[in-house]
């Protein structure tokens, strides 16, 4: 029996079961949905064990045991420093026990502290300082002949004034009157255009995924294209 | 309702959504069945990315990170395939990794459908290497920015990276000439920009799903040299690739083929949005007249 065909049939039938929800909720859709949730949970658990627990914990604390699943671990040396993450990992699980659940706060503190530390650097550097410096662009761009490059000048102007006006909209320390009022209104328009573009992209993404599924049904399953 | 009758305005403004679903389905199925292929033109943001790879001298090191899974494969897989074809056509050395567990399977597909079929003359370990998936998200990028072999001690086959010819001279990420991230969420292109591009001053380009693309445009062009946004971006890159390398005319067309249904579906959606708005304003005017 060609197992590839069995796999394609299973994929096609599950796809149609999911699509059946578009007509009405039904037992076939529920079955496919529950199957997906169950298989996903199991898959990620197995991936977590084989890509993190075995190489990064068992392989460091007991390499010979880890070598059963990861032959390369047989040559590793024991590293007892990894007892620290083992303890913190077990402390995290105490969350499930009411009496000692407070101990999990130690692990949560470490996780949150690490996340805060790395995120501070990356957002400060990439999303704050770099973005500010890259918005400092020439408002009048010259072309090769010394004249004004209208396309780039217009584009830079939109970028600069659009950014300023968008920021003014979110500036609540002063009432939006006088010059701030029209700038704020322009900022709203800039934001709405951005949201519209984002929505359009989202529609494109969903249609792309639908097209991919339909292609699977017509090409891989039915073979009509 | 005009005069108490349920006329066409009333019915159309309350159209059963299942009819709309059916029409959307038809708008995708019919173009696929008839093989509708529309011309695609490469936009500057994708052309910049193409030109960057095109300008790499032979032997350049390109890191391709496949940070996606089967759920977004229709958008991301054509991107990864196009980058693979382009990099190897330029005789670059391709290092393939993944920050997603599901990316490992997509890399296998890439190997089977592109690397081992279209580039039989390219040797694994010399021209391309699959270093596979490693857990750690942005922590992994942080680590390989300093020492790549400490995290990738073997490739996906278990071969020690110390014995792989193309890993010679590669100490960390800064030894890469270009990093290309193909992603669909976290971790993805954004993390490559923030942890590798900005901190290590390494050129970054990428391709992402259409949902994520607007979030990355602010990084272009200084922090991100170019970006393929969704299936449209993938199709644009394929168009540029075929134009420069006609030998890929039969193979690098997966995304271009899917743009036909895309265009028809989008046209239908736009017409339905316009229709909905017309019905809304007509009903509002009738309500105003009655009151």
* Secondary structure of A66-85 as H, E, C letters: HCCCCHHHHHCCCCHHHHHH
pLDDT at B3 over 60: no
What are the pLDDT digits (tens) for B179-228?
A: 999 999 999 999 999 999 999 999 999 999 999 999 999 999 999 999 99
Q: Considering chain B, what is the average pLDDT of its residues?
A: 93
What whole-number distance in Å separates Cα of residue A159 and Cα of residue A179?
19
Q: Is B265 on the interface with A (CB under 8 A)?
A: yes
> Burial level of B77, CB count in 10 A (0-12/13-18/19+)?
buried
Which residue in chain A has the smallest CA separation from B132? A51
What are the pLDDT digits (tens) for A17-32?
A: 999 999 999 999 999 9
Which of B24, B153, B214 minimises the CB distance to A197? B214
What whole-number distance in Å separates Cα of residue B206 and Cα of residue B246?
23
CB contact (8 A) between residue B210 and residue A198:
no
> What pLDDT score was predicted for residue B1?
45
CB contact (8 A) between residue B261 and residue A209:
no
Chain B nearest C-alpha distance from A214 (Å): 7
What whole-number distance in Å separates Cα of residue B143 and Cα of residue B160?
18
> Burial level of A116, CB count in 10 A (0-12/13-18/19+)?
exposed
Chain B nearest C-alpha distance from A180 (Å): 24
pLDDT at A145 over 90: no
Q: Which of B26, B273, B76 is nearest to A205 (CA)?
A: B76
Between the alpha carbon of residue A180 and those of residues A157, A168, A171, B267, the distances in Å are: 18, 7, 9, 39
Between the alpha carbon of residue A1 and those of residues A6, A7, B146, the distances in Å are: 8, 11, 50
What whole-number distance in Å separates Cα of residue A212 and Cα of residue B109?
16
CB contact (8 A) between residue B193 and residue A225:
no
Chain B nearest C-alpha distance from A177 (Å): 29
pLDDT at B146 over 60: yes
> What pLDDT score was predicted for residue A51?
85
Q: Considering chain A, what is the average pLDDT of its residues?
A: 92
From chain B, pick out residues whose CB is under 8 angstroms from the CB of A47.
101
Reduced to 3 states (helix: H, G, I; strand: E, B; else coil), residue B57 is coil
pLDDT at B289 over 80: yes
What whole-number distance in Å separates Cα of residue B60 and Cα of residue B174?
13
Peptide bond into B124 cis (omega under 30): no
When pLDDT is cut at 50, 70 and 90, the band that residue B4 belongs to is low
pLDDT at B84 over 60: yes
> What pLDDT score was predicted for residue A4?
79
From chain B, pick out residues whose CB is under 8 angstroms from the CB of A208.
74-75, 209-210, 230-231, 258, 262
Reduced to 3 states (helix: H, G, I; strand: E, B; else coil), residue A127 is helix
Distance separating the N- and C-terminal Cα atoms of chain B? 13
Chain B nearest C-alpha distance from A117 (Å): 12
Which of B74, B133, B154 minimises the CB distance to A211? B74
Percent of chain A with pLDDT over 70: 99
What whole-number distance in Å separates Cα of residue B133 and Cα of residue B137?
10
Reduced to 3 states (helix: H, G, I; strand: E, B; else coil), residue A117 is helix
What are the pLDDT digits (tens) for A30-44?
A: 999 999 999 999 999
From chain B, pick out residues whose CB is under 8 angstroms from the CB of A223.
none
Higher-pLDDT residue of B131 and A145 is B131
> What pLDDT score was predicted for residue A52?
87
Percent of chain B with pLDDT over 90: 87
What are the pLDDT digits (tens) for B55-68?
A: 999 999 999 999 99
From chain A, pick out residues whose CB is under 8 angstroms from the CB of B29.
214, 218
Task: For residue B98, give the H/E element and its range.
Answer: strand B93-98
What are the pLDDT digits (tens) for B259-268?
A: 999 999 999 9
Residue B193 DSSP symbol: I
Size of interface A-B (CB pairs under 8 A): 115
Task: For residue A170, give the H/E element and its range.
Answer: none
Dihedrals phi, psi of A177, to nearest 5 degrees: -135, 165
> What pLDDT score was predicted for residue B2?
47
Which residue in chain A has the smallest CA separation from B220? A134
Which residue in chain B has the smallest CA separation from A129? B198
Which residue in chain B has the smallest CA separation from A53? B135
Chain A nearest C-alpha distance from B59 (Å): 30
CB contact (8 A) between residue B194 and residue A203:
no
Higher-pLDDT residue of B50 and A225 is B50
From chain B, pick out residues whose CB is under 8 angstroms from the CB of A201.
210-211, 213-214, 229-230
> What pLDDT score was predicted for residue B47?
97
> What pLDDT score was predicted for residue B116?
94
CB contact (8 A) between residue B262 and residue A204:
yes
């Amino acid at each position: 029996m060609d197992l590839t065909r069995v796999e394609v049939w299973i994929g096609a039938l599950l796809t149609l079961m999911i699509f059946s929800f578009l007509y009405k909720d039904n037992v076939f859709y529920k079955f496919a949905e529950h199957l997906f949730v169950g298989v996903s949970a199991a898959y990620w658990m197995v991936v977590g064990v084989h890509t993190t627990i075995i190489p990064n914990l068992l392989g460091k604390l007991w390499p010979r045991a880890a070598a059963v699943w990861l032959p390369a671990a047989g040559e590793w040396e024991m590293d007892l420093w990894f007892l620290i993450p083992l303890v913190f990992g077990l402390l995290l699980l105490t969350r499930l026990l009411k009496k000692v659940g407070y101990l999990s706060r130690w692990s949560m503190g470490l996780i949150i502290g690490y996340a805060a530390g790395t995120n501070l650097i990356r957002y400060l550097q990439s999303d704050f300082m770099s973005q500010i410096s890259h918005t400092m662009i020439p408002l009048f761009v010259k072309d090769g002949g010394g004249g004004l490059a209208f396309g780039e000048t217009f584009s830079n102007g939109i970028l600069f004034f659009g950014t300023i006006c968008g920021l003014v909209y979110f500036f609540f320390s002063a009432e939006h009157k006088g010059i701030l009022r029209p700038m704020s209104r322009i900022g709203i328009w800039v934001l709405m255009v951005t949201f519209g573009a984002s929505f359009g992209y989202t529609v494109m993404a969903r249609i792309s995924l639908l097209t991919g599924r339909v292609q699977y049904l017509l090409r891989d399953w039915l073979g009509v294209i | 309702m005009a005069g108490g009758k349920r006329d066409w305005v009333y019915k159309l403004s309350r159209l059963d959504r299942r009819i709309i679903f059916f029409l959307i389905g038809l708008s995708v199925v019919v173009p696929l069945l008839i093989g509708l292929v529309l011309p695609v033109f490469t936009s500057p943001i994708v052309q910049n990315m193409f030109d960057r790879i095109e300008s790499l001298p032979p032997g350049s090191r390109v890191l391709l990170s496949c940070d996606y899974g089967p759920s977004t494969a229709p958008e991301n897989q054509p991107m990864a395939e196009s980058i693979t074809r382009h990099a190897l056509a330029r005789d670059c050395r391709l290092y393939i990794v993944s920050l997603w567990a599901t990316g490992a399977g997509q890399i296998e597909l890439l190997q089977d459908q592109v690397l081992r079929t279209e580039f039989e003359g390219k040797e694994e370990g010399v021209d391309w290497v699959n270093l596979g998936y490693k857990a750690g998200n942005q922590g992994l990028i942080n680590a390989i920015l300093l020492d790549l072999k400490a995290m990738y001690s073997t490739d996906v086959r278990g071969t020690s990276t110390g014995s792989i010819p193309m890993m010679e001279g590669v100490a960390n990420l800064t030894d890469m000439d270009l990093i290309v991230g193909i992603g669909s969420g976290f971790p993805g292109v954004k993390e490559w920009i923030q942890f590798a591009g900005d901190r290590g001053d390494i050129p970054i380009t990428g391709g992402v799903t259409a949902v994520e693309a607007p979030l990355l445009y602010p990084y272009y062009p200084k922090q991100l040299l170019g970006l393929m946004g969704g299936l449209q971006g993938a199709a644009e890159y394929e168009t540029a690739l075929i134009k420069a390398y006609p030998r890929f005319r039969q193979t690098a067309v997966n995304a271009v083929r899917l743009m036909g249904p895309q265009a028809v579906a989008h046209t239908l959606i736009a017409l339905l949005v316009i229709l909905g708005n017309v019905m809304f304003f007509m009903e509002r005017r009738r309500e105003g007249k009655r009151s």
